[in-house]
Chains A and B, each alone.
Chain A
């Protein structure tokens, strides 16, 4: 191949962006462990995250200009070697993950100092970067087995991140997540193994070419089932969501904000990638009763998640159950099996990431001052922490789906996709479930604004500015993309058309 004399230049650096997207955080993680000093370590982590964001934006711009990007790892050409592949869908996902990480990281620096023991801080940042690497890797790779590897990288580091919290209950919830997550990952691995057995290839595009020849095989049905169940566990679809509330409630707040906005979303990405790119929409929704099953579970999730959230006393757990419901919205859009339904699901995927990141950061600020986020302790907090609670209210409005917020835009498109598919029940379900969201968001607002502070409670100050700025950036994004609703919608529409094979 090329001789050593053709050294790397700035001009051809851009062709290596798909690799650098993963490699930058991957290299930084061990460096962080070696360096120790926490302030410096945070700065490096932040710089790398910003660089990754720049790379992700540039990759997406390249995709828009020239179409899909394929990168051969190690110089081995695709079906044999590991291929990194960026198209419109995962280009957007890369930007989403990097942007969320870039906003949550400054929040995390202050928040984590209170919630994680000092001697663990550098290891904490290393695990954070590895989690970030894993999430990006799952999204960018075009190799089915590589998906599993990165899934494990991100999951294992997430378990460690959750267990880093000072709260001892974090240990059991991390362990619970570990058991459930490992079962999920194993199911996905078994599914990939069966696919490999059938076709002898692991490259997704190659799999897609070879699978139509073997659609009669029972093994293919089994592989499909394993992958659907595995992904559902990872993305916390209704009956398989039990790991989530505790994991989100007891993890350090910054970790919750980060993984709630990215980890489940990435699992949804994996599921969509398998449904559309690998198995093909015809098999997934035609030969398999996927649409019906997914729709039933999604609707149950929307209602059961919201109902449990209403009765939850811990606000972080409440938001976690609300996530179960919101993931129901996303999978509901997917279950319609139409391009507009898929696009609406993707839109809500991105919007929900912004909503939940903002809400969990607001609760993180409350935990920073109060040391807890039990609902009754929030009494009178609206006056003591006006900016934090205002951010919560703004995020809550977006969660409910009030006009001018991103939540409204995605629910609007979900509802119209439901009409388009000839299912008028879908908009009704969305509306009814949103009314339940009004109740649990109102419960927090009522406690914080209308109740007098507890008598024995020590008054608290507003959260430090370093927590408020990231929180309000997320809130601003919620309203900005809510008012300019077409920006993301057009991007996800194009992504959905590309994923369903329209282009």
Chain B
């Protein structure tokens, strides 16, 4: 567990910055370049980097599979929900003007929420894709090992 020492230290230093930058891109998206999709990709990249360096098992303890499967539909629901809210307040679908008392504030709020939905789903989908591709090989190896040795310790691979 002690090899790639430099890699591990640098990764640990970088990951908070990557995640922070993702949040910056997310929430500054209405004023500068960026937005939900880019932020989601950057955030997922941080998680993928963690999984690459520290292993899939550690990574799946950090972010559980069921959480990811919850977040994927949640983002879409946030997006579509904003549209339904604007319908409720008497505007057309996704008309942000009616979301607040002032149309300008409404537009701010609307785009912020919609982009948040996009960000959540994109980050969760990309991480799920990585986990399922990376986990696929490992799961197959585990199954083969279980079949060949037949006892419990075969589940661990390095």
Chain B associates with chain A? yes
Q: Using a CB–CB distance below 8 Å, which chain A residues touch chain B?
A: 1-8, 12, 16, 19-20, 23, 26-27, 29-31, 33-34, 71-75, 126
B97 at the interface (CB under 8 A from A): yes
Within 8 A of A (CB), among B70-107: 70, 72-74, 76-77, 80-81, 83-84, 87-98, 101, 103
Do B93 and A31 have beta carbons less than 8 Å apart? no
12 of the cross-chain contacts (CB-CB < 8 Å) are A4-B101, A6-B89, A7-B90, A19-B83, A26-B80, A30-B72, A30-B76, A71-B93, A73-B92, A74-B94, A75-B91, A75-B94
Do A27 and B84 have beta carbons less than 8 Å apart? yes
How distant is the Cα of A126 from the Cα of B77 in the complex, in angstroms?
A: 13
Cβ–Cβ < 8 Å partners of B70 in chain A: 34
Closest residue of chain A to B114 (Cβ to Cβ) is A74
Do A8 and B87 have beta carbons less than 8 Å apart? yes
Do A23 and B77 have beta carbons less than 8 Å apart? no
B88 vs chain A, min Cβ distance (A): 5
Beyond A34-B74, A74-B92, 12 additional pairs, beta carbon < 8 A: A1-B98, A3-B101, A4-B101, A6-B89, A27-B80, A33-B69, A33-B73, A34-B73, A71-B92, A71-B93, A73-B93, A74-B96
A353 vs chain B, min Cβ distance (A): 28
Number of residues on chain B facing chain A (CB within 8 A): 25
Do A31 and B87 have beta carbons less than 8 Å apart? no
Cβ–Cβ < 8 Å partners of B98 in chain A: 1-4
Closest residue of chain A to B78 (Cβ to Cβ) is A30
Interface of B is mostly: helix
Do B69 and A19 have beta carbons less than 8 Å apart? no
Do B77 and A1 have beta carbons less than 8 Å apart? no
Contact with A along B43-81 (1 / 0, CB 8 A): 000000000000000000000000001101110110011
Interface of A is mostly: helix
Closest 7 interchain pairs by CB?
A: A30-B73, A75-B95, A19-B93, A6-B90, A74-B94, A33-B73, A30-B76
Closest residue of chain B to A30 (Cβ to Cβ) is B73
Do A7 and B89 have beta carbons less than 8 Å apart? yes
Cβ–Cβ < 8 Å partners of B72 in chain A: 30, 33
Cβ–Cβ < 8 Å partners of A12 in chain B: 90
B46 vs chain A, min Cβ distance (A): 24
Do B87 and A2 have beta carbons less than 8 Å apart? no
Indicate which residue in B81, B90, B93 contacts A4 across the interface (CB closer than 8 Å). Answer: B90
Closest residue of chain A to B90 (Cβ to Cβ) is A6
Closest residue of chain A to B110 (Cβ to Cβ) is A74
Q: Which one of A7, A26, A29, A75 has the greatest number of beta carbons of chain B within 10 Å? A: A75
How distant is the Cα of A27 from the Cα of B76 in the complex, in angstroms?
A: 8
Cβ–Cβ < 8 Å partners of A23 in chain B: 80, 83-84, 93
B77 vs chain A, min Cβ distance (A): 5
Indicate which residue in A2, A6, A30 contacts B77 across the interface (CB closer than 8 Å). Answer: A30
How distant is the Cα of A143 from the Cα of B134 in the complex, in angstroms?
A: 39
How distant is the Cα of A255 from the Cα of B133 in the complex, in angstroms?
A: 26
Closest residue of chain A to B96 (Cβ to Cβ) is A74
Do A1 and B76 have beta carbons less than 8 Å apart? no
Closest residue of chain B to A34 (Cβ to Cβ) is B73
